[in-house]
A and B are shown apart, each in its own frame.
Chain A
Amino acid sequence: MAAIEMKNIVKQYGDGFAAVNDVSIDVADGEFVILVGPSGCGKSTLLRMIVGLEDITSGDMIIGGERVNDIAPRDRDLAMVFQNYALYPHLTVYENIAFPLRLAKNFSESEIDEKVRTASATLELDEHLDRKPGNLSGGQRQRVAMGRAIVRDAKAFLFDEPLSNLDAKLRGQMRTEISRLQRRLGITTVYVTHDQTEAMTLGDRVAVLRRGVMEQLATPRELYENPVNLFVAGFIGSPPMNFLPATVEGDMVELPFGRVKIPAEKAARAKGRGLLIAGIRPEHFEDASVMDRATVAEGSTFRAHVDVTEWLGDQQYAYIPFEAPPEVQAQLTQLERDLDGESIRTQLVVSLDSASRVPEGEEIELYVNAAKMHLFDPSTGDNLTVTSPREETSAHSSSTSSSSSGASVAR
């Protein structure tokens, strides 16, 4: 087990394209770090540079205090689970798991047998040991790939989108399994995914990458509540954060649907900047008719025309289209492209209490918890209202108490 330090890692291809640009991440011993981002953001390249399958153009890769830039993969003592598992089809499950041990040459036959059986028991593969990978289901293959990784006491685990080939149900189960295994073994882990659910649930810390650049490295909670810029804000969360054109006057924010009051401190940071982009998560809206009068009176409300609703049982989403001015529209389109998305129209997604009976195509009164609003600079995408972790914690606890039937309950 070892810490992994990445210092100013750059990967540049022959044509000058920088797949990874100046990324520095410290992975502490035993920590679970996620690399997440849309396709082509360089997350897999970074992982392959850690394991040594990809050359490092510049920067230092330090594993367990040793600079490994020029060390071959086999001497780095890392275990990796590939996206397509890369099992050896000509070997049985047993031999697949034993493969790294046989190569190491310093284990006796009985030691190998003991280690393989321990690993297979951990992953419940005992009954499949004599089968070939070709006869296994996707989930079983996945477990064999994990078995091959845990059988040797490697310095760290590396996962390259290990669950992307499984169906949704199995993915959920394996996610929990990986989390449990990592906690039990306490081994340093770097995990690449494009799935933000995996990123949020598995990681101690999450690094969000875009086009080779690291945008933010923080705990999942910090990413969700205090995204540093538009990209992170739009990437983390499902359904994504709503972005609306906004102008700040005093402590009032002018939105397409009306004016809402925001905390004086946030207003001060955004003062005199002209047209901004406001970011509000869907769950910070609520149908005013299902809330108690006192809470509604404290916050802001506005009336809007609901286009479509989606009722999911535990909650429901309502879609409200709006027109964005061209200055903001350009930035939002670019953002959408960065996020691998393709939005046809600008619309507001609001998450409502499932008890609310919103008629489609009618106007309703919506409550918005403006204290949770973020304001972004449209030209740079920076979050102007980002708070330091300490401020954030206090703001969080106060808002939970003030909007009892609002945002926090709807989640």
Chain B
Amino acid sequence: MRTKVGQGIGLVLILLWCLFPVAWIFSLSFKSVEEAAAGSPQFLPKDPTLDTYREVLANDDFQRALINSFGISLIATTLSVILATLAAYAIARLDFTGKRVVLSIALAIAMFPVVSLVGPLFDQWRVLGLFDTWPGLIIPYMSFTLPLAIWTLSAFFREIPWEMEQAAQVDGATAWQAFRKVIVPLAAPGVFTAAILTFFFAWNDFVFGISLTSTTDARPVPAQLAFFVGPDQFNAPTSTLAAASMMVTVPIIIIVLLFQRKIVAGLTSGAVKG
């Protein structure tokens, strides 16, 4: 009983700690520009308005950025997950020389500070003509998310009993069919976990987005937010930014909720004897 009460209090504290800023932004997004800029803040908007949302949606640059962000993130996620699945499968199942090297290098890349690469990439991308293009962002997103995806997925693949695959082969499946029809569905929780992590990274990235783009051709939403301007230089566009932030956060929340259903723990239970 006492532990239950303690748990409840702890839970409430954590939720407050995590969600209060979000709630603040949410309320802020319904305040008019003037109210948000006023000196005395209060939690609830005095005069709730949807003007901020209208303004953000009517902004052409924001629309372009939203398309860029979705496109780039989805492509980077898809490619990264496909590559990571294949690589992780090879690492989990095959015995080849240099396996440890591949894994260690992957880990080293994941540890590399992102900012230290921005300068060199900027130069390279200008020369290669990748600056301010979708591929120019997709490539770095992929290279930074692949290591984590590979590590996650190879752990999942190792959990799947060998017999599953052998049974499929005896049943008449080619190696590819066994992989696609048996292994991948069984590793689905791992695949979705990897997909979410990759999508988060790409969607939330600011450093690459601001450094490797110059126009709305490829600029993603987090970078575009920096270009919002208020009605004049003394009034910061706080509430408009809050509205835009809400609109950027909502898709992520929806995607997580969708994928979360797929991440059913213990999907492999019942494969072998219980």
- Are B166 and A82 within 8 A (Cβ)? yes
- Are B170 and A74 within 8 A (Cβ)? yes
Q: Which of A53, A82, A89, A138 contacts B186 (CB 8 A)?
A: A89
Which residues of A come within 8 Å of B, CB atoms? 51-53, 72-74, 78-80, 82-90, 99-100, 103-104, 132-136, 138, 141, 148, 152, 165
**A33 vs B170: C-alpha distance when bound (angstroms):** 20
- Whether, in the assembled complex, B232 has its beta carbon less than 8 Å from a beta carbon of chain A, the answer is no
- Whether, in the assembled complex, B152 has its beta carbon less than 8 Å from a beta carbon of chain A, the answer is no
A51 to chain B, nearest CB (A): 6
3 A-B pairs with least C-beta separation: A134-B270, A84-B272, A86-B167
Tell me the nearest residue of chain B to A166, going by C-beta. Answer: B273
Given contacts A89-B186, A90-B186, contact A79 B170 (CB under 8 A): yes
Given contacts A51-B170, A74-B169, A90-B186, contact A103 B177 (CB under 8 A): yes
- Whether, in the assembled complex, B173 has its beta carbon less than 8 Å from a beta carbon of chain A, the answer is yes
- Are B163 and A141 within 8 A (Cβ)? no
- Are B170 and A73 within 8 A (Cβ)? yes
- Are B270 and A136 within 8 A (Cβ)? yes
Given contacts A84-B161, A90-B185, contact A132 B270 (CB under 8 A): yes
Q: Which of B163, B177, B181 contacts A82 (CB 8 A)?
A: B163
- Are B170 and A85 within 8 A (Cβ)? no
B residues near A133, Cβ cutoff 8 Å: 270-271
Which residues of B come within 8 Å of A, CB atoms? 161, 163-164, 166-174, 177, 181-182, 185-186, 188, 267-274
A residues near B181, Cβ cutoff 8 Å: 99
**A132 vs B271: C-alpha distance when bound (angstroms):** 9
Most chain B beta-carbon neighbours within 10 Å: one of A85, A88, A99: A88
A residues near B274, Cβ cutoff 8 Å: 134, 138
A residues near B169, Cβ cutoff 8 Å: 52-53, 72-74
Most chain A beta-carbon neighbours within 10 Å: one of B161, B170, B269: B170
Given contacts A79-B170, A80-B167, contact A85 B268 (CB under 8 A): no
For the complex with contacts A74-B173, A87-B167, A89-B269, 4 further pairs of A-B residues with Cβ separation under 8 Å are A86-B166, A87-B271, A138-B274, A152-B172
B173 to chain A, nearest CB (A): 5
**A82 vs B171: C-alpha distance when bound (angstroms):** 12
Most chain A beta-carbon neighbours within 10 Å: one of B166, B177, B268: B166
Tell me the nearest residue of chain A to B163, going by C-beta. Answer: A86
- Are A88 and B182 within 8 A (Cβ)? yes
**A136 vs B269: C-alpha distance when bound (angstroms):** 11
- Are A165 and B273 within 8 A (Cβ)? yes
A61 to chain B, nearest CB (A): 15
- Are A80 and B272 within 8 A (Cβ)? no
- Are B271 and A103 within 8 A (Cβ)? no
- Are B172 and A103 within 8 A (Cβ)? yes
Q: Which of B161, B172, B270, B272 contacts A74 (CB 8 A)?
A: B172
**A133 vs B272: C-alpha distance when bound (angstroms):** 9
**A89 vs B169: C-alpha distance when bound (angstroms):** 16
**A148 vs B168: C-alpha distance when bound (angstroms):** 11
Q: Which of B168, B186, B267, B273 contacts A84 (CB 8 A)?
A: B273
- Are B273 and A141 within 8 A (Cβ)? yes
Tell me the nearest residue of chain A to B185, going by C-beta. Answer: A90
B261 to chain A, nearest CB (A): 15
A390 to chain B, nearest CB (A): 42
Given contacts A53-B166, A74-B171, A100-B172, contact A135 B177 (CB under 8 A): no
Tell me the nearest residue of chain B to A91, going by C-beta. Answer: B185
**A90 vs B264: C-alpha distance when bound (angstroms):** 11
- Are B171 and A99 within 8 A (Cβ)? yes
A residues near B161, Cβ cutoff 8 Å: 84, 86
**A84 vs B160: C-alpha distance when bound (angstroms):** 13
Tell me the nearest residue of chain A to B184, going by C-beta. Answer: A90
**A382 vs B270: C-alpha distance when bound (angstroms):** 47
**A134 vs B273: C-alpha distance when bound (angstroms):** 9
Tell me the nearest residue of chain B to A73, going by C-beta. Answer: B169
**A226 vs B172: C-alpha distance when bound (angstroms):** 42
A residues near B166, Cβ cutoff 8 Å: 53, 73, 82, 86
Given contacts A82-B163, A165-B273, contact A89 B172 (CB under 8 A): no
**A83 vs B269: C-alpha distance when bound (angstroms):** 16
